[in-house]
Amino acid sequence: MRTKSEGQVNREGQINREGQVNREGQVNRWVQLVCGIVCMIMVANLQYGWTLFVNPIDSKYHWGRAAIQVAFSIFVATETWLVPVEGWFVDRFGPRIVVSFGGVLVAIAWTLDAHATSLPLLYIAGALAGIGAGAVYGTCVGNALKWFPDRRGLAAGLTAAGFGAGAAISVVPIRDVIEAYGYETAFQWFGIGEGIVVLLLAQFLVAPTFGQVRAPSKLRISSRNFTAAEMLRTPVFWLMYVMFVMVAASGLMVTAQVAPIARDYKIANMILIFGASTLTVALIVDNILNGLARPFFGWVSDHIGREYTMAIVFTLGAVAYWLLGTIGNQPVTFVLTAGIVYFTWGEIYSLFPATCTDTYGATYATTNAGLLYTAKGTAAWLVPLANVLKAYTGSWHSVFLVATLMNLVVAALALFVLRPMRRGMLDHQPSVGGAEDVALASRTST
């Protein structure tokens, strides 16, 4: 009979010499993953459902699309730029309190949106919604990265998929409530309901304790854990940041403008299938594919490598933007090409966090991945420029052309610049033999 010293697993969730997680640890981490995914689903509408509210708000107050979309940019900026601060609290005090805080803010923000009678109040609500969504997003992704060193791309992808695909569940209900009761009621009902669900699920979230998770990885990973300050001093981080901005900007331009694009193409209300309009079908398909892309390409990157996956998917994304701008002006082609766009940009939310944690270690994963995630906030400020460019040129084709070029550039950077730079950085570290300890700065499970 083998003793614990010979590699058996103890009851406290330790690991054997082969790096396998015990039965209790295995169940626990999957429970954590599911809770994180559901929390992400609950806050998805703050971003992906926003497009349904733009025209109703403009119809009531006549503020103009560009002015209303500033609220979307503020939301994305606060959702991303404050994630490192929220991550700092998570890495030291655990995920529960931060996600609870996020759930409360989500309910408050959409309640304010329901009663906003001026642009400043709409912008304040956008800021609060962003802070709340960021607290949920950054915490849940960071928790997944810590619990799954062996399936980091897949775990981050599944968690991010909750945010990407979650809105698909409620696109039709939100639209129906807006049409039947007004957009104000939709803000009120969905904001409070989703905030309550996040608050309840937050009570089940815990971080892995020291030595609780250790599993083999097929990819080369860092043998040391970088603090945020150390990471910011490396060129690899800033290269990933620029790449993230470029891909996120192109995706956000379409995400925020799907409804206006469909209406400008004069196909939004055309009945496509089973009585559903082109826009409704597109929104459902887009959000589903956006969600599927995250775990799928995360899983692919776990097997063939992060940079190879980036090069493949961003090249496909460039083709998708081109097609949307050239043949996407008919109902069927609009749904198909917009869906491919969503499928080839949503994966950045699994690929980049996984790459960051592979490169800089898991101890400060929430903070470090959060710093990289601020690139989405930087990209958000480019979204209103899409309206300006469209107004200047008279068509969306120029916007899609810019998105095409940005994706091609990032694909090349991933393969020919990021890959050799990361490999050189890891070659200067001692090998960790394909396994990693998740040694947390916090020892608490609160």
Domain chopping of the chain, boundaries: 22-437
pLDDT of 296: 94
Pick the CATH number of 22-437 from 1.20.1250.20, 2.40.50.140, 2.160.10.10, 3.30.70.2190: 1.20.1250.20
pLDDT of 109: 94
Amino acid at 386: A
Mean pLDDT per 10-residue run, the chain (446 residues)? 36 35 55 93 85 88 87 85 87 89 94 92 94 92 88 90 77 87 91 93 86 67 87 96 94 81 86 82 84 91 94 96 91 92 90 93 88 86 81 85 95 97 84 44 37
Distance CA 169, CA 40 (A): 12
pLDDT of 187: 92
pLDDT of 411: 97
